[in-house]
Amino acid sequence: MSALAVSAADDEKLRGLRRMKLVAVGALVAAAIIYMIAFVLERDGVGWAGYVRAAAEAGMVGALADWFAVTALFKRPLGLPIPHTAIIPTRKNAIGRNLGDFVGTNFLAEDVVRQRIRSLDVGLRVGRWISDYDNARRVSAEIAIGIRAGIGLLDDEQVRAAVGEFLRRRAEEFPIAEPAGNLLGEVVADQAHVPLIDLVAGSLHDWLIENRGRVVDVVERQAPGWSPKWADDMVASKVYREAVRFAQDVRDNPHHPLRKSIDEALIKLSNDLRFDPDMQFRAEQAKLRVLDHPEVTRTLNTTGTVAKEMLLRAVDDPTSDLRVRIVDSLVSIGRNLVDNEETRARVNTWVEDAAVHVVKNNRDEITALITETVDRWDAQETSRKIEIQVGRDLQFIRLNGTLVGALAGLAIYTISHLVLV
């Protein structure tokens, strides 16, 4: 049996119950005292005392009868095993079943649920609430907590392996030749490669200027052994000057033949990548060799960890682009729900259908939850808990029984004297 929690409000209700019990008992005691006094006075010949005695007598009967009725709900009066007493403790399980059936029939009916959801206009309420930036930030913070909790469940090693394998498999399946050819063709058409040629030509020219001795030395080493030294120096100097002039011309002349040759070569490569099966096969083989490189494999395997860390930093930072986008999206959704009646109607219909689906498919589980919960309660504690909740009002029944009984007794006594005497 599970125990029922007692709150501070229950303590206050318990004090009120005890006060009302004293009032009800006081009314019974008062009726008894009045009865005894009136009885003595009536015996001594006081005429009006009979009316008072009858009222007090009936008041005592009413008080005792209602005391019995109220007490019988929660316990056996005077501890006597009277049938149909201690109703709540002995009938607790049946009450739980009836309560579950009552809730299932009257609160979980499809038409009741649908009507209630429709009256709430969930779409409009949610839209108005979430279109406020402060509320959207609160929702964004809760989403961030959920994302962090979900990510926290993932093992780093498994994430690395899964992401690395996924990226590698996608790279292997993705044909690189044709997209690379299209991209290269657009680069050449937009002259986007020209800055790279400028950089290479300029760097080559600067290198030649700074490394004259190395260039001359390389040329002289290639000269035949029988040539005189002065001839080697002259040829090497000539070659160096021509190399510097050539690099300068390529750097400074945007229409240099070498630049045109590079453009033509790039265009041919672009076309081959798009249309030549042999070139496409070679490109795919080159791609696979790149993917097999240890550094590429290591990079792919660490991508998952890097992505995880980046996502965690983003969700933890309220000013991050991710969080800001989430807030803006929520506000946009909220405003759309407020302003767009068609969207709001779709959301309301979806919520209605979802609620009805849950109720239809889980009604038995919901009612069983009520029934099983009540079954687990201790009978005496349940009785005590219910008495605390409603006992004060039940004491008014006892008090009213005393007053109504007294009035009824007085009325009966009066009518009897008027009619029968």
Final residue in a domain of this structure, among 237, 270, 292: 292
For residue 5, pLDDT beyond 80 = no
Asked if 184 and 286 sit in the same domain, the reply is yes
Residue 294, token pair as written in the block: 């240890």
Q: What are phi and psi of 20, to 5 degrees?
A: -70, -30
The DSSP bridge partners found for residue 377 are: 2
pTM: 0.53
**Measured between alpha carbons, how far is 187 from 270 in angstroms, rounded to an integer?**
10
**Within a domain: 150:** no
Q: How many domains does the chain have?
A: 2
- Residues 370-397: tens digit of each pLDDT: 788 777 777 777 778 777 877 788 888 8
pLDDT band at 129 (very low <50, low <70, confident <90, very high): very high
**Measured between alpha carbons, how far is 288 from 285 in angstroms, rounded to an integer?**
5
Asked if 86 and 168 sit in the same domain, the reply is no
**Measured between alpha carbons, how far is 48 from 39 in angstroms, rounded to an integer?**
11
What's the distance, Cα to Cα, between the start and end of the chain in Å? 62
Identify whether the C-beta of residue 351 lies closer than 8 Å to the C-beta of residue 126. no
For residue 87, pLDDT beyond 60 = yes
Residue 297, token pair as written in the block: 């494999």
Contacts of 266 by beta carbon, 8 Å cutoff, 6+ apart: 184, 187, 188, 193
Average pLDDT estimate for 213-218? 75
Final residue in a domain of this structure, among 292, 321, 350: 292
**Of 148, 151, 337, 343, residue with least CA distance to 329:** 337
User: What pLDDT score does 326 carry?
Assistant: 92
pLDDT band at 71 (very low <50, low <70, confident <90, very high): confident
**Within a domain: 238:** yes
**Within a domain: 133:** no
pLDDT band at 360 (very low <50, low <70, confident <90, very high): confident
**Within a domain: 14:** yes
Q: What Rg do the C-alpha atoms of the chain give, in angstroms?
A: 48
Identify whether the C-beta of residue 273 lies closer than 8 Å to the C-beta of residue 178. yes
DSSP conformation class of 317: -
Q: Residue 270 sits in which domain range?
A: 156-292
**Within a domain: 124:** no
User: What pLDDT score does 7 carry?
Assistant: 61
**Within a domain: 362:** no
Residue with tokens 């069983």: 368
- Residues 292-343: tens digit of each pLDDT: 888 887 887 787 778 778 888 888 888 989 899 999 999 999 999 999 989 9
